[in-house]
Structure 1
Amino acid sequence: MGHNDDEIKISRDEEEENLAAWLLGIKTLKIQPYRLPSLGPQDVKVRIKALGICGSDVHHFKTMRCANFIVKKPMVIGHECAGIIEEIGSEVKSLEVGDRVALEPGIGCRRCNFCKNGSYNLCPEMKFFGSPPTNGSLAHKVVHPANLCFKLPENVSLDEGAMCEPLSVGVHACRRATVGPETNVLIMGSGPIGLVTLLAARAFGAPRIVIVDVDGHRLSIAENLGADATVQVSTLEEDAGAEVVKIQNAMGSDIDVSFDCVGFNKTMSTALAATRSGGKVCLIGLAKSEMTVPLTPAAAREVDVIGIFRYRNTWPLCLEFLRTGKIDVKPLITHRFGFSQKEVEDAFETSAQGGNAIKVMFNL
């Protein structure tokens, strides 16, 4: 009997050791124990070392919901992460203990048609870190499938590994819109997603990129990251007509692809009007669940409207862009926090306030 008691004691000790940031209510985060699921044969246990706060995390924090995803019970928050492998399942061949990895946070069912056809990001059964009801990864340790953990190149830091998640959105959008060396790109919105889309579009070869925002400070960041031109706009719908002309002049030639990284009536209407006939508008930002936009004139000019949801099969390319220096995400990390109760609260407040914060990163 004594032997079993020891085993029970060890598992309890381990449970106490693993702490996570739980979202308990509106603007209420608490570091509490997090008992991990058991390690399956194809899983790995990862000690999380870097985790970034995403806009969706902030929505959950402020309102306990993001679009149709509603937090109904306490949930571990966070999904943009990287860490070090601590344990591997019996069938894992691709990774070993001590490897530094970036984690792709969504686990598809692998059985539905979407998963089988490779569009696994559209899987209706997707379990995604920190998207209710699935616990996230702002924790000392998590268990995750080995095939969703990607080994970091030697010259890529854990912070940069965590940045693969937001960068993946920009990479997936550029793939969907087939951005290349002959594509002039307009980006509406200079927040974190607008900026990673800028970096991705450049890496895909876009020769000229114009970025638009209401905030002058955010536009200056975009300029520092290599935007060819920026246009500051107002929030007023009636200014859109004149602003379209300004945006087209700033590009100086046809706008082939526009990315709306905001998702308001005005940003989408502006993108549709500014894009050349036969061009594409890709909607990334989902600020509003319903929009009223002039689709008919855009459709009559054969402007394609493309939607994206998260990403698929992007981590290897993101890591290659980081390894070769084609993309530098380090300037996006503006704030860093440790993993104490106060720092977790301060970090989320900092991210929620916006202001000068682009990417708020935890170092655990």
Structure 2
Amino acid sequence: MDSSPTLPTTMRTSVLLKQQELTIEDRPVPTAGAGEVLVEVAAVGVCGSDVHYYREGRIGDFIVDAPLVLGHELSGTIVGVGVDVDPARIGERVAVEPQRPCRLCRECRAGRYNLCSKMEFYATPPIDGAFCGYVTIQTEFAHAIPDSVSFEAAALLEPLSVAIASIRKAQIVPGSSILIAGAGPIGIITAQTARAFGASEIIVSDLIAAKRERALKFGATRVIDPVAEDPATLNLDVNAFIDASGSARAVDSGIRSVRPAGTVVLVGLGIPEMILPVSHIQNLEITVTGIFRYVDTWPTAIHLVASGQVDLDSLVTGKFDLEHVAEALDSDRNDDSLKSIVYPN
């Protein structure tokens, strides 16, 4: 491997031992294999999935049954390369797309690598994530970022990619109208992305007043308190509905807020099964679909941030070192918290 001679041999790593139990370990610095780069991690965003694994030890069929390193929203600097990678990449600032598809299965060959049955995704059992000093990734999934994009924003290109995938599925074009349920991180980033894609009406619903007010600062043209007003009764007639809440009630109301032939995209992590208004979906020919990660979104995400169309830096409300990962994971209990960043080095 062609790499800097000053690299350490070990790195400090935050390890989830079991529910709500973390420890710091010294682990070997990994070596970049063929076609891979070694990235010194600069910033890691805390995602809701990290929180689920920390508190509950599972998400659906993904169960933490062995020590696991959390964190999959990350950026850093390439400090080493493997065989078949241009050594000129050393020193590049990058945002990491945290997944390793097999490239050979039917879904990969069809361009749907997010649905690869052999996917190895950071911080998804049993694959370790990025709350550590260094990681490796295939060179094409280490996306170079301009100097104008901060490491914090580069880490948050991952949730922005979820928003881009959702907006593409929702078929948002200039002049579209959209309802988004949930003004947490994904909802706020999705509102900004909808604006960047040309949506003229961006309605955000949330139970918490402070979150609704924040949504207005990040692209929403209107906000709704779903307790005071059921969106389904407001004749919103939107082109698309994106659920970023995971609430069964929000999903039902959102479906009923979409115009005929509209689109519903389910993003939020909620209960595994819901009752849907099937007759309403059939009679209005509404398309209901889901989102599972993303495909080829980083170039678009980098452009949206570098051009100023999406602001990710302002979403950062908490900064933590590796010794305080537990506090970072619990920061969502504060309604004022939006995105927390962990700095492993």
TM-score category (smaller protein): over 0.9
Separation (CA, whole Å) in 2 of partners of 1:128 and 1:30: 22
Aligned position for 1:208: 201
- Is 1:184 aligned to 2:177, yes or no? yes
**Structure 1 residue 321 displacement after superposition:** 0.6
- 2:314, 2:147 → 1: CA distance? 20
For residue 238 of structure 2, give the secondary structure of its aligned residue in structure 1: coil
Structure 1 pair 94–298 and aligned structure 2 pair: CA distance change class (3 A): farther
Match of 1:48 among 5, 27, 41: 41
CA distance in 1, matches of 2:281, 2:87: 48
| Equivalent residue number for residue 5 of structure 1 | none
How far residue 95 of structure 1 moved from its aligned partner, in angstroms, is 5.5
**1:143 shift after superposition:** 1.4
Cross-structure match for 1:296? 279
Partner of 1:78: 71
Q: How high is the sequence identity, in percent, across the aligned residues? A: 33
Q: Does 1:306 align with 2:275?
A: no
Query: Alignment partner for residue 59 of structure 2, among 66, 79, 84?
Result: 66
Distance in structure 2 (CA, Å) of the matches to 1:321 and 1:136: 26
Q: Let me know the Cα RMSD of the aligned residues.
A: 1.8
Q: Is it true that 1:244 corresponds to 2:229 in the alignment?
A: no
CA distance in 2, matches of 1:135, 1:276: 43
Task: Tell me the residue number matched to 1:324.
Answer: 307
In structure 2, the residue matched to 1:119 is: 112
Match of 1:6 in 2: none
Give 1:263 shift.
2.3
Equivalent position of 1:87 in the other structure? 80
Residues 151/94 of structure 1: CA separation in 2 closer, same or farther (3 Å cut)? farther
| Matching of residues 258-273 of structure 1 within 5 Å | 258-273=241-256
1:33 to 1:269, Cα distance in 2 relative to 1, 3 A: same
Map 1:228-239; keep pairs closer than 5 Å.
Answer: 228-234=221-227
- Name the SS for the 2:205 alignment partner: strand
Matched residue SS, 1:285: coil
Q: 1:120-162: per-residue Cα shift (whole Å, max 9, x none)?
A: 0000111001000000011111111111100011211111100
Conserved in 2, the CA contact under 8 Å of 1:53 and 1:359?
Answer: yes
Aligned with 1:276: secondary structure? Answer: strand
Amino acid at match of 1:261: A
Match of 1:277, SS state, is strand
Supply the distance in 1 between the matched residues of 2:60 and 2:197 (Cα, whole angstroms): 30
| 2:276 counterpart letter in structure 1 | V
Query: Structure 1 residue 36: deviation in Å?
Result: 4.4
* Structure showing the higher helix proportion among its residues: 1
1: CA distance, partners of 2:82 / 2:221:
48
1:354 is displaced (CA, Å) by: 4.1
| Unmatched runs of 5 consecutive residues or more in structure 1 | 1-9
Flag the structure with higher strand content: 2
2:192 to 194, 199, 217: 199
Report the structure number with the largest CA radius of gyration.
Answer: 1
2:127 matches 1:143:
no
Mapped to 2, the partners of 1:70 and 1:32 lie a distance apart of 22
Q: What residue is the counterpart of 1:156 in the other structure?
A: 149
**Separation in structure 2 between the aligned mates of residue 243 and residue 321 of structure 1, nearest angstrom:** 30
Residues 123 and 129 in structure 2, CA contact (< 8 A), matched pair in contact too: yes
Question: d(CA) in 2 for partners of 1:94 and 1:106?
Answer: 22
Aligned mate of 1:348, from 304, 329, 334: 329
